[in-house]
Amino acid sequence: MSQFKFSCPSCGQHFAGDYGYCGIQLTCPACQNSFTVPNPGTSAPLASASAPRAQRTTVALPARLPLRPPPAQPPPQPAKTSGLAMASLICSIGSFVIIPFGFIPGIICGHLAMKQLTREPGLKGRGLAKAGLVVGYVGLVLCVIVAVGLLAFGFSLAKLHAK
């Protein structure tokens, strides 16, 4: 690697460095002033004439200069949530609000989501799947209770009407 020489514009301290230093901001160890390393061939500001000659010795800079800082690691991606777990909860809750038999797909999606979450440990949504299963089974039990009640009521009306 070839080197070139340059000086601190404030105190005249001489430096020898690799071309990788061109355009980089340095702090002079002699006067603590910061300056930008000039490109070779351009005229750098002259050092002040009042600077003592003893400070003007040549300082060799390290041959290897990290031109760029190491690239920052990208932020970790947030864990994905299982779509089956969300579908389970939505179908199960929807069975109470909109569609009377939404608990059946809610239960199926909940069990599929639990299997998927076991296979893929980085996936989130175990709580959603469990909630979908609980709400789905509660909907199933309520539906069975209502069906049995309606059948009993229908048979009692049929007995009264038959008499």
Which residues fall within 8 angstroms of residue 77, CB to CB, at 6 or more apart?
none
Does 65 reside within a domain? Answer: no
Statement to judge: residues 88 and 139 lie in one domain: yes
Does 156 reside within a domain? Answer: yes
Statement to judge: residues 149 and 89 lie in one domain: yes
| C-alpha–C-alpha distance, residues 93 and 134, integer Å | 10
> For the chain, what is the domain count?
2
Does 106 reside within a domain? Answer: yes
Statement to judge: residues 40 and 106 lie in one domain: no
Statement to judge: residues 22 and 53 lie in one domain: yes
Is the pLDDT confidence value at 80 over 50? yes
The pair of structure tokens assigned to 133 is 């299963």
pLDDT, tens digit (0-9, with 9 covering 90-100), for 17-41: 777 777 778 888 888 888 888 877 6
Range of the domain at 148: 83-162
Does 144 reside within a domain? Answer: yes
Q: What is the pTM of this model?
A: 0.52
C-beta atoms surrounding 97 within 10 Å: 8
Statement to judge: residues 121 and 155 lie in one domain: yes
Statement to judge: residues 88 and 119 lie in one domain: yes
Statement to judge: residues 94 and 42 lie in one domain: no
Is the pLDDT confidence value at 119 over 80? yes
pLDDT of residue 131: 96
pLDDT of residue 54: 42
Statement to judge: residues 56 and 87 lie in one domain: no
Statement to judge: residues 87 and 158 lie in one domain: yes
